[in-house]
Structure 1
Amino acid sequence: MKNILLFGAGKSATSLIDYLVSNAPRQKWHITVADQDLALIKSKTGKSYYVTPAVIDIRDQASRQKLVEETDLVISLLPPALHIFVARDCLQFNKNLLTASYIDPEIRQLEKEIEQAGLLFMYEMGLDPGIDHMSAMKLIHSIEKKGGQISAFRSYCGGLISPESNDNPWQYKISWNARNVVLAGSSGAIFREKGKVKEIAYQQLFDQPKTIHIPSLGKLAYYPNRDSMGYMDAYNLEEIPTFMRATLRYPDFCEGWSTLVKLGLTDDAKKIQTDAMTYYDWASQKIEQDPKLSHEENIANYLGISAKSKVLRQLKFLGLLNGETIGLGEQTNATILQHVVESKLGMEPADKDMIVMTHEIEFERRGMTTRLHSYMITQGEDSLRTAMAKTVGLPLGIMAKLILQDKVSLKGLKIPIMPDVYNPVLKELEDYNIRFEESFE
């Protein structure tokens, strides 16, 4: 019997838990799901004989380490800042670790120790990052094997609401960690375009986004995602003129979110007292009020838009133009906004989300320039078994199976860019209708 320890039973854990439980009898696994919320764990695991719930505070070192010491493999779906606690435990007790989160500076400092211990810490093993790496590297390696010379690489991914559930002026609903949504893009973006390094500050990131056409969906907006250039070396594309990774959204979302950034509502530094503050007072902190004007007119004048603009409809939908008191005590603007979007942009039980991923690769072979398009669209079933949970969780589950079956000999701190990983994982993902279509021009 092999033991798997999963930290975190949140939104992204649903499909992973389903996968682990369904494979448990045949693979002879036992799964421990650790979270601070017992009801949440039970809602995901049911009464399975193969699952043990563990209610812990992740910062309780003794409880956490006891679980790590007794398992064969650890998977972490905790908030990114908490992975380091689990990683250090895995080093101490000689356990392999899987997570969907980005490699950060703290874990990078442990890279030599991980390698010396002969352990595999596979990071970025989810959707984006994760499936994006695997599907991109499969294409890149295929092109290079046939003698193609790549000149441009662009990769786009977005967690969206399906068209049939797209019923609010934001064209968006929360299908993953709301705090990550609120803070998305806060570090700005850097990428390479036609040989020039381009940097975009957070304040301009959502302004006038460009669009891309997706078959069967039409135009989606995109904005560059984090530090794209940090992956040029990993993809072995250090010399190409154009390299960009980007996030997809419906166009209306970007326009509205740009407004929230301009109003300062995504700031996570300074705390303010909200017990007697109204939502309108909060939304208009930067605005010098004209008492003769309505709330809509004051904000419209500040933003330089019409009082009948759809942006005002978006702010009104979030409840930011009314006199209701916030009453959350002392909080940052970002925490208040998280509360707002969770309550106003949450998915209804029957809502379906949608993951869209596409790669565009330009290359030359035998004197001919070709553009390859590869895209994937995956829909969720409902607000619990979402496309987001499916595409984040299943790669982790499949990778766990490969490790426990001794089919992976990798060691060290890795991301999934090697054929021994992406070939079996992408192949099994097709069994769950997560597959890519390709076209050339």
Structure 2
Amino acid sequence: MKTILVFGAGKSATVLIDYLKDVCAASHWQLVVADAHLLTAQSKTNNHPFAKAVEVNVTDADERRMLITDASIVISLLPPHLHIMVAKDCVAIGRSLLTASYVDADIRNLEAEIKSKELLFLCEMGLDPGIDHMSAMQLIDGIQAKGGTITSFKSHCGGLVAPESDDNPWHYKISWNPRNIVMAGSAGAVYKLNNEIIQTPYQQVFENCEELQIGALSPLAWYPNRDSLSYIPLYNLQDAATFIRTTLRYADFCKGWDVIVDLELTDEKDQSLVASCKTFADWMEQKLFKAEQRDISFRMYLELYVEETAHDKILRQFDYLELNSVELLPHHVTCSADILQYRLEQKLKLHTADKDMIVMLHEIDYTVHQQPHSVKSSLIVTGEDNLRTAMAKTVGLPLGIAAKLILDEKIKLKGLHIPTRKEIYEPVLEELALHNILFHETMQ
């Protein structure tokens, strides 16, 4: 019997596990869901006859390897820094591995061994990265097949709150890893714009974010993602004058988050400052003093550094998070990023009936026989509730579909890959469409 092993049963796993339970029932395979908390895994497997939940300490080599040895294929939804332990065991034992995370240097160092053992490691197989790669490559390959030359490529994606559940001044609710939200943009960004390489430091990532309109949604703003340049050769777009991958938010979010970054409220290395604070108000006071080297109110800070039209909105955002409260700081926090994450998880959580929303947009300019053309391809997916979220659906389903296709030997690739190859993206996108994950194109 073929066995699919899933490490991690957190926020993004619900829809994946539900999908794999159906797959395993239809094919008489076994699904094993391994998590640090047995009750969490059991809540997802829910006594399904073809699924079982197990508790695992993923840092315990013996526990980890025993599960991998019994598996036919492995899916890791663990935090990215834990993937490498699973990956090394998969190489040693001889099992293919799927993740939704970026290919990092540690995984890249395994590439030769993965190839020599004829395994498939398929990374970046979620939403962004994942569906963005597949849908973009389908467009790019189609344009190039008809003799087109792409001059500009822009790809935007964001996990947002659905309009009907948007009830706070940040216009945002958490549908995935909260620490990743806190640290978004912290690596800065580099991209190509009109044949110029643009490098944006963290302190400027959220400044003056450009806005765009998608369907009937409220205006959205985008900020650049990490390293767009590394994807240029993977997309075979070396001649494009513009190449940029971005994250979408509602416009007000970017204005408020720019202030959070400027005040260093996401700092992970200010333990001594945080240790000197008893309350949230103490913390904000210290941060404002550090920014100005003098006593200053938050309103005065805004008057000095933020455009007047945004003052009231940003004040409402900070008031909503109660960042100036006399409430005692929780005992577990050791740095500013901890404090901010604590508040976001309190104030911006998805409630039971809340719905999230995924929005993606590709904008491509190209020429065919010297004639200019453009295409916009958009995706909007709305979640069902705070468990079966649009995020869980769009991250989980590509992983599940790929696992099924690999076990059915419909994807036969070997080596280390992301889903830019036609033999991956065609069947996966075809099945995603059956789950209402559909792109809509407009041509000019």
Scaled by the length of structure 2, the TM-score of the pair is 0.95
* 1:382 matches 2:385: yes
Q: Distance in 1 between matches of 2:62 and 2:17?
A: 25
Alignment RMSD (CA, Å)? 1.9
Report what 1:241 is aligned to: 241
2:439 counterpart of 1:439:
no
Structure 2 SS opposite 1:154: strand
Structure 1: distance between partners of 2:20 and 2:301 = 53
Give the drift of 1:205.
0.4
Contact 2:189-2:200 at 8 Å conserved across structures: yes
* Residue number in structure 1 paired with 2:349: 346
Contact 1:296/1:307, CA 8 A, preserved across alignment: no
Code of the aligned partner of 1:326: L
Q: Does 1:427 align with 2:417?
A: no
Segment of structure 1 superposing worse, 118-127 or 289-298: 289-298
**% of aligned pairs identical?**
49
2:360 corresponds to:
357
Counterpart CA distance in 2 for 1:219 and 1:437 is 18
Structure 2 unaligned regions, length at least 5: none
For 1:168, the equivalent position in structure 2 comes to 168
Residues 263 and 284 in structure 1, CA contact (< 8 A), matched pair in contact too = no
1:283 aligns with 2:263: no
What is the CA–CA distance in structure 2 between the aligned matches of 1:42 and 1:248, rounded to whole Å?
Answer: 34
Q: Which residue of 2 aligns with 1:28?
A: 28
Residue identity opposite 1:323 in structure 2 = V
When the two structures are aligned, how many residues end up with a matched partner? 441
Structure 2: distance between partners of 1:155 and 1:227:
13
Q: Is 1:318 aligned with 2:304?
A: no
Q: Aligned partners of 2:275 and 2:408: how far apart in 1?
A: 53
What SS is found at the alignment partner of 2:204? helix
Indicate conservation of the 8 Å contact 2:288/2:296, yes or no. Answer: no
Match of 2:127, SS state, is: coil
The match for 2:194 is 194
Contact 1:72 1:95 in 2 (8 A): yes
Q: Whole-Å Cα distance in 2 between the matches of residues 178 and 74 of structure 1?
A: 25
- How big is each residue's C-alpha offset from its partner over 1:137-167, in whole Å with a ceiling of 9 and x where there is no partner? 0000000101111111000000000001011
Q: Is the 8 A contact 2:255 2:310 kept in 1?
A: no
Q: Pick one of 393, 399, 404 that aligns with 2:407.
A: 404
Q: Is 1:18 the counterpart of 2:18 in the alignment?
A: yes
Counting only pairs closer than 5 Å after superposition, residues 100-115 of structure 1 correspond to structure 2 as 100-115=100-115
Report whether the alignment pairs 1:327 with 2:318.
no
How far, CA to CA, are the matches of 1:75 and 1:290 in structure 2? 49
User: Following the alignment from structure 2 to structure 1, what is the Cα–Cα distance between the partners of residues 85 and 115?
Assistant: 18
CA deviation after TM superposition for structure 1 residue 60, in Å: 0.9
Shift of 1:71: 0.7
* Residue ranges of structure 1 left out of the alignment (5+ in a row): none
**Contact preservation (8 Å) 1:271, 1:330:** no
Counterpart Cα distance in 1 of 2:436 and 2:219: 23
Amino acid at match of 1:69: T
* Distance of 2:313 and 2:429 partners within structure 1: 41
- C-alpha displacement at 1:328, in angstroms? 2.2
Partner of 2:226: 226
Distance 1:189 1:266 in 2: 17
Please state how far the C-alpha of 1:330 moved relative to its aligned partner.
5.0
**Matches of 1:265 and 1:232 in 2, distance apart?**
33
